[in-house]
Amino acid sequence: MSTFFDAPFHLDARGRSASTDADDHVRDMIRAVLFTEPGERVNRPDFGCALKTLVFQPNRDTLVGATRTLVHGALQRWLEREIVVEDVAVQADESTLTVQIVFTRRDTGERQSDVFTQAIGPAPAGAAS
């Protein structure tokens, strides 16, 4: 059984680097792709998904379609060695964008599903755009 550093990096109760199992490690990698904006990583300026850029877009059916395409493409690009993306389902209500990802881990062949949520809506008054 392999162990990996947990993300975000933190210390466990013993004061050591916290570790996690392979399933959580894959979820951590997906989360990193989804919530990293292109340009945030110095040595990989194109890494990420730009999901946060959709947070302040008007909540329409086009947002759902764009999000689905964006997420599927980013996961295929950055995690193609780790997972096979089978489906991306996106649901938007007035204030929340929910993304469900169904994938198969390449190392085990195990099919998994995970859900990620992000607040959406107009920028608060006085916020920079």
Q: Read off the amino acid at residue 28.
A: D
Please report whether residue 125 resides in a domain. Answer: no
Per-position pLDDT tens, the chain of length 129: 567 777 777 778 888 877 777 888 888 889 889 888 898 888 999 998 877 776 666 666 777 778 888 899 999 999 999 999 999 988 777 777 788 999 999 999 999 999 988 776 554 555 444
Residues with Cβ < 8 Å from 86, sequence gap 6 or more? 102, 103, 104, 111
What is the total count of domains within the chain? 1
CATH of the domain at 60: 3.10.450.40
Please report whether residue 57 resides in a domain. Answer: yes
Please report whether residue 124 resides in a domain. Answer: no
Give the range of the structural domain holding residue 65, as residue numbers without chain letter.
4-9+18-119
Please report whether residue 127 resides in a domain. Answer: no
Cα(125)–Cα(102) distance, rounded to whole angstroms? 37
